[in-house]
Homo-oligomer: A and B are copies of this chain.
Amino acid sequence: MKARVTVTLKNGVLDPQGKAIEGALRSLGVEGVDSVRQGKMFEVELATSDPERAKTLLKEACERLLANTVVENYSIELL
């Protein structure tokens, strides 16, 4: 089965990338974007078809590798 994991910076953690993008959009004349925060997204293919096992597995992958939980949050979506 497939899943999507998104990893985002915790609130309050500096996001220099988002800040740079906001500035660039403004100077390109793309108006009306108030704020941008950049995160990572992983499209994952899993061997299992059991949603519970999939979730446990992905949680482990996030905790151990995909996210640094000191500064990042993650969320898991089964597709």
Report A's interface with B, CB cutoff 8 A: 6, 8, 18, 21, 24-25, 28, 30-48, 53, 57, 60-61, 64-66
Q: Please give the count of copies of this chain that the complex contains.
A: 2
B39 touches A40 (CB 8 A): yes
A44 touches B40 (CB 8 A): no
List residues of chain B with CB within 8 A of the CB of A6. 41
Query: Which of B30, B41, B65, B66 has a CB less than 8 Å from the CB of A64?
Result: B30
With both chains docked as a complex, state the minimum distance between the C-beta of A57 and any C-beta of chain B, in angstroms: 5
List residues of chain B with CB within 8 A of the CB of A35. 44-45
A61 touches B46 (CB 8 A): no
B38 touches A42 (CB 8 A): yes
